[in-house]
Every structure is written in structure tokens, then in C-alpha cells.
Structure 1
Amino acid sequence: MKFSNPLIVVSNMEKSKQFYHRILGLDVVVDFGANVTLTYGITLQTKDTWSSFINKQENELVFGGNVAELYFEEDDFDSFIKKINNMPNINYVHPIIEHSWGQRVVRFYDPDKHIIEVGENIAIVVKRFLNSGLSIEETATRMDVPIDFVNSCLK
């Protein structure tokens, strides 16, 4: 057994492909029309075909449940935030927050209200703390992670 890829259902394939390319830089890898695989193996499936696959009516499929997300990390978090701040129609779940371990993240919805999280690359967070003058041990304490984790981010 191996995990292959996540699949999300979309109501408008073209709109979703454009969103994922424009906002996250994902490209179409394989396009079968009703089923499209993007960079990193994220698969989009049209709502009508998905409903037939699971033997449900389209009106039984509910978007926007706020119970799952697609998670991405960005090395240049500040530039990404500037990019999306200049884009119209970004529907935020919340503005930038900093988690207790120091990672900055933003969450927003795709066109079908699937949550997208973009977080600062965790290795960059480690380096930010070290560059601020914290020691490896202090960084581990600040982030509530083992020292080995901090060291592994420096490789």
C-alpha cells in the first residue's frame, strides 16, 4: 500500500486550474478534462463526475466545511504575502498569524472554499531565530522542538 495523492472536488475546473497556477504557481501535469493532476500530485476532480463516482447527487456535495486544508510552505514568505495582497478576490480564512512555535502562516479559500494554508518554511523560521541571536538550544526551546530538529534544519 502507498499513498498516491490528495484529490479535491471543484465546481469549475478552469477557474480552479487558474487559481492554483496564479496564486501557488502550480502547473498542470496531466489533464484528462474532468480529472487534472497539478504539481506535487494535487488532483482536481469535477463535481459532476465525482458525484457519479460516489453515487450521490451534486446537491449532496457540500463545500466549505473548514475541516481540512492543503498545506504549503514558502521560503520567501514576505514576498508571497506581498503577491497575494495585490491580488483581487482573495477570500481569507484569517490574516497572517504567528503560531506559538514562531511560524508565520496565512490561510485562505480556493474558489470552492477548500482551505489553503501557506506557512513560512520551518527551516527558515529556525534560521530567523538563530539570526536574531538565539542559540540552537534557545531556538529549540522557543519553538518547543528537540535540538536535533533545529540542527536538521541547518543542513
Structure 2
Amino acid sequence: MNENKPFSYHSTVLFVEDVERSKKFYTEVMGEEIELDLGKNVGFKNGLAIWEGEYGRNVIFGDPSGGDYSSKKMLEIYYETEDMAETYEILKSAGVEFVHEVVEQPWRQLTVRFLDPDGHMIEVGERMDVCIGRLAASGETPEMIAESTMMPAEIVNAILANRD
């Protein structure tokens, strides 16, 4: 990582009404290849990702039926970091408007979301290999990590094998 930039662009996330319909559109019409399908969110090999909208709004804002975000189409620009503490301090010192401060998502990844000067939402999340390593260092078994992160066991095991 560049010492002046502890995070890097990863993907753009579209919040969609029907994941299966959108998955079919992006694979059959747009020719995208699925890299990882976790049900409520799908990552394509080109860096585009889709999230089930209500699920995404609930994860980010708590109650998906309330607030200004319930009826809006949403887009999120996603970055990844190896060092969430450093990233958070950089963002805090820059005076960004946080959507939420650092939180652990239901799949155990640490994330922070904030707005750019025009109100577009940006998320910085710890890379999943870093997340898996953090969980392993805390004493969790590969099986526990696979279950709590929703990552396939073979991916968790491969990540942990590469850390040794």
C-alpha cells in the first residue's frame, strides 16, 4: 500500500430490488461472470457487485423502512484497506461526514461508510483476507470463520494457508 493511501478502490455496489433478476441481467445481457455469490450479495469478476437493497439498507442504516434512504436507489463506491484504524483516522482528520463509524458487519468484516462532498456514499472495508486473519488470530477455527463470514470453507482455508 502507498503510505499516503492505506486503502484502494475495489468495486462499485448497486443496491437492487431482486438479486436473481439482476444477476440474470448482468450475466446474460451484460456478459458478466460471477466471482462470488453469497445470496443477498453477488460479486462479478469485473469489480461490479449487487446487494439486495432492503438487506443492504438494513445493514447500513438499521431500519430499511425509515429515513431518507428507504425509497431511493442506492449506489456505493467500495474501497478496501489492510489497516482500518489508520484509515479511520485519515477520514476523521479529513472531516468527512460519516454515515456510520467503524462497525463489524453481520459477516464480521470491519467497515466505515461516509459521504463524499456531493453526498455519494463511500464504504471502506477491511479486506476479507485481513478479516479472516483477524478472526483466526482471535482463536476462531476455520469452520467458525467460514460460518460467521459466509465465505466458503475452501476460501477460508486457502487464505489461512497463505498466511503461514
Report the TM-score when normalising by structure 2. 0.52
Equivalent residues of 1:76, 1:120 under 8 A apart: yes
The Cα of 1:70 is off from its aligned counterpart by: 0.7
The amino acid across from 2:91 in the alignment is: I
Secondary structure at the residue paired with 1:80? helix
Partner of 2:144: 138
Partner of 2:109: 103
Distance 1:152 1:83 in 2: 31
Based on CA coordinates, which of the two structures has the bigger radius of gyration?
Answer: 1
Q: Percent identity?
A: 31
What is the aligned residue count? Answer: 97
Partner of 1:115: 121
For structure 2, list consecutive stretches of 5 or more residues without a partner in the other structure: 10-68
Residue 147, structure 1, aligned to residue 147, structure 2: no
C-alpha offsets along residues 19-77 of structure 1, whole Å, 9 cap, x if unaligned? xx989678xxxxxxxxxxxxxxxxxxxxxxxxxxxxxxxxxxxxx96600110110011
**Aligned-pair Cα RMSD in Å:** 2.6
The amino acid across from 1:82 in the alignment is: E
Change (3 A) 1:100 1:126: same
Equivalent residues of 1:105, 1:118 under 8 A apart: yes
Distance 1:140 1:82 in 2: 30
1:53-64 map, 5 Å: none
